[in-house]
Amino acid sequence: MGYRAGVVGAAGFAGIELVRLLSRHPEFDLAAATSDALAGTPIAKAYPAFTGVTDLAFSTHEDTDFSAFDVVFLAVPHKAAMGMAPDLIAAGVTVVDLSADFRLKDPAIYEKWYAPHTATDLLAQAAFGLPELTGDELAAAAERRAAGEAVLVGCAGCYPTATSLAAAPAIRAGLVDAAAPVVADAVSGVTGAGKKATERTHYCFANENLEAYGVGTHRHTPEIEQILGLEGRLVFTPHLAPLNRGLLSTVTLPLAPGAAPTAEELVELYRDFYAASPLVSVMDAGVQPRTASVAGTCRAQVGVAVHPAGMIVATGAIDNLGKGAAGQGVQCANIVFGLPETCGLEEIANPV
């Protein structure tokens, strides 16, 4: 008998990806998937891909008793999770949140970009969920859970994940000018915008189109700055591409005075940095990541090059629903519950 798991907000894109991963996870037993809009509807009826996989039906948030569950994944909008997490934690249930509510360490920064935070006590103790870069926080959360404490994980967002995985090794090695701006240009598939169609994400507007949005104002900016220590120095511009899934971030990092690594030296540095990270692959010098090579998985590809203008150009490719959301949530839960971090996440992308 494995750990009893539930998903709140299971009918959305990230939520149903959690259902997919948990329905075949060897240690987490999916026992509830909530959606107020689809309550009573079999999951396989709403999403026929689950025919023959699960007989579970969606239930309502309010009528689902999670008190006997080991872990609950929150795939709900920003500002909703901080209203749900306190009761779950008080009931002894570990919470893995996919929203932004428990990512930013400073409640004043959260308020600036979102709204006043109503669970600052939990915010202070939440582990940040980007295993390759914040493994110490997750390890500490695992120790607390093993001691009988319910813990909270705030998973990193999709843009911060790809951008930070691409940039962190160079920054942490001291190769980047600590006074210069860092520029990140990132492109995401349409599922990153959520299930509800808008004038930007409606098929007729998104298809055959590429555009920047949230220029200078995107909410993931402070999260990336927090991860990479770039407060006030990040120029982040997201773009929407006519893809279902996939996210690519290209980060331009000015070299520190006196730093002159070769591409091969950078690749070696990056491979050493991610040597204990089984879900991150560093490409050979001259080879760039591809979103198609990670779609449908929790894997990340990272590429790095030297620009003759005195810059490092680092690229990161992930699936925005996989490593950028649901897969990352499961990876974090694996760590917190003392499981191999790749448990249930061994899929590779379709090669063509």
Q: For residue 52, give both structure tokens.
A: 């023959």
Burial class from Cβ neighbours inside 10 Å (0-12, 13-18, 19+) for residue 144 reads middle
Alpha-carbon distance of 117 to 107, in angstroms, equals 6
Q: For residue 278, give both structure tokens.
A: 């089984």
Q: For residue 325, give both structure tokens.
A: 């959301």
Using alpha carbons only, what angle is made at residue 59 by residues 56 and 63, rounded to the nearest 5 degrees?
A: 135
Alpha-carbon distance of 198 to 70, in angstroms, equals 36
Instruction: Provide the annotated active-site residues.
Output: 158
- The residue with tokens 């190769």 is 175
Alpha-carbon distance of 346 to 299, in angstroms, equals 9
Give residues with Cβ within 8 angstroms of 56, minimum separation 6: 30, 31, 32, 33, 42, 43
Residue ranges of alpha helices (H) inside 23-157 are: 43-46, 81-90, 107-113, 120-125, 131-146
